[in-house]
Amino acid sequence: MNLNETRGTATDRTEATRSQETSGRGELNRYIGYSVVDKEDSKIGTLECLWSDHTGQPAFLGVKTGWFMGKTHVVPASAAEVNERSGVIRLPYTKDMIKDAPAYDADMMLDEATEREIYGYYHEGYRTEERPRFDTGLEREVSAPKLEGTEETRIPLSEEEVKIGKRSVEAGGVRLRKIVRTETVNQPVELEREEIVIERVPASEARATTGEAFAEQDVFIPLRREEPVVQKESHVREEVLARKKTDVEQQQISESVRKEDVQVEKEGEAGQSRNRE
């Protein structure tokens, strides 16, 4: 049965033993609701209850998971390690092993046969003497000294931190395309052209010829002229050079972060004392 309703034992148990068991149950009762993880720190469930063994000592943990509705998986308490600061109970088993572990209702009575079945599943020997107690892990934690007769409660407060990184993304580009344009060029040029000039020369100035008189004669004189000849030559006019440069701009990034705090509200006599102050 769970910690709040421990199964009865032999009637001849002494009052000192009952007092010791009650103290142990009260000490372990504060772990109800802690998160339970496997040996790889994977979440399994939460601690729902604690069972006592046949000696009346709390010896089994009841882990509530979502695998079987209404069932609680049982784990030997001596194998657990507790971190009270983070509220986590760590088991030295895998999630699959706990998934196939014996499961019972939280209010079921555990007899010696059931205890043997549980210890056998986890390969732990069954002994009638007192087994190791629930490992709270307190000896591995450094804590401030507590004054005798006082109680303290620690509430971890978390906050979020913004970490901004950078990545390169494409923001556009420039394409260079060479095109051909045609334009008309006007350039003057001088061209020579031959023409015929006819002059009549007097007989006194004429050159003597040997040609027969009164004989017909046909003379052809060719006339020449110049015409333009156009040739085109290609040469490099200029060169276009494209290169990238990097400019740095500063931007203000805004992001919301959460931060935990604690609010103190006094009730009852504590609140009345504050009002009087």
User: Mapped to the 3 state alphabet, what secondary structure does 109-167 carry?
Assistant: CCCHHHHHHHHHHCCCCCCCCCCCCCECCHHHCCCCCCCCCCCCCCCCCCECCCCCCCC
- Lowest-confidence pick of 21-25, 178-182, 189-193: 21-25
- The full set of domains in the chain, from first to last, is 15-140 (2.30.30.240)
Task: State the Cα–Cα distance between residues 203 and 182, nearest whole angstrom.
Answer: 63
| Tens digit of each residue's pLDDT (9 = 90 or more) over 26-43 | 456 778 888 889 888 888
What are 113's strand-pairing partners? none
Q: Do residues 52 and 114 make contact, with C-beta atoms less than 8 angstroms apart?
A: no
pTM: 0.39
What is the per-residue pLDDT across 209-234, written as a single tens digit (0 to 9) for each?
A: 777 778 888 899 999 999 999 999 99
Q: For a pLDDT cut of 70, what percent of the chain falls above it?
A: 73
- Is the model more confident about 135 or about 11? 135
**Per-residue confidence (pLDDT) for residue 238, from 0 to 100:** 93
**Length of the chain in residues, anyone?**
277
3-state secondary structure of 75: strand
- Region 181-200: mean pLDDT is 94
